[in-house]
Amino acid sequence: MLTLLYLPYDSGHHAARMGRGPLHLHQHGAAARLRSHGHDVAESIIEVPSPFPTEIGTAFALHRALSDAVRATVADGRFPLVLAGNCNSALGTVSGVRGTHAAAPNDAAPVGVIWLDAHADFNTPDTTTSGFLDGMSLAALTGRGWQGMTASIPGYRPVSDAHVVLVGARDIDPAEEELLSQSRVMRVEAERLRVASADAALEGPLTELARRGVSRVYLHIDLDVHEPSEAQANQYAAPGGLSSNSVKELVRVVAARFTIAAAALTAYDPSFDAHGRMLETALTLMGAIAGIGQRPAAASG
């Protein structure tokens, strides 16, 4: 049983740019395809009143609403699959998952993060040169910056950077690279996945993640992790990405080692997908995730 949670926003604006992606997937039969494969699917579109939309204010209002929705979804025994315009939706998703264990001490039941993205999203308000909130998503998830705003999200606690595996990032700012080098984030380069199987490329980081006490993970897939010549997700897509087969195989490898507590597909702008290749890639990937979501891993270490 799963619930599709749609967040049709980009930078605080409804159904604009990458905010069109979730509704495009909805309108092109995301739920129907999953149901045709035997899945029990519920759907919910999350929107917030925003008479004067601002990127930061609206984004965090969405995180709060998403956290509540994810917590309710998990409490009902359903798997949350989030379709969002922006990667910072991870703040709401992970907070909702962790909110179901609110009585536990910090990191008594840690949630790991497997983050697939062409970008590291590890800038902070002090390092960003663009001011794009989405480029700070993973940093904020690990407690770097925005403390006043993240504190307003029900269930939010920083994820330890030692519990993060960053996969496929290849377009990284110099200051961001420095922050990453000072962190405990484990990295799997796109080049590694082009020359080795997902099993081989992820063996070391996933083994270490399990050694650090992680048994359940949040799987985050920014669709621009894909090679844009095969299927382009958005205007930020960078060459040197992963094939759709590699991404699907990675999902399988992660699911064999950990319980996937929640997952997200983000950053799809249909205006860069004239031939529908990314649409088909995303729908196929949703099916792969739905087939393993919340299923206990056969082994976790």
Class of the domain covering 2-292 = alpha beta
CA dist 300 and 261 (Å) reads 14
| pLDDT at residue number 142 | 98
Instruction: Provide the pLDDT for residue 292.
Output: 85
CA distance 294 to 99: 16
- What does residue 225 show for φ and ψ, rounded to 5 degrees? -65, -20
Domain boundaries, the chain: 2-292
Residue 20 DSSP SS3: helix
What is residue 301's predicted lDDT score, i.e. its pLDDT?
A: 33
With a cut of 50, which residues of the chain have pLDDT below it?
103-107, 299-301
Query: d(Cα 158, Cα 161) in Å, to the nearest integer?
Result: 9
Cα–Cα distance for residue pair 271/281, rounded to 1 Å = 15
Q: Give the DSSP letter of residue 144.
A: -
Task: Check residue 298 and give its pLDDT.
Answer: 53
Counted residue by residue, the chain has a size of 301
Q: CA 151, CA 158: separation in Å to the nearest integer?
A: 10
C-beta of residue 111 within 8 angstroms of C-beta of residue 217: yes
Say how far apart CA 1 and CA 24 lie, in whole Å. 22
**Per-residue pLDDT, 50:** 77
pLDDT of residue 109: 73
Record the tokens describing residue 113, joined without a space: 């993060």
> At residue 23, what is the residue type?
L
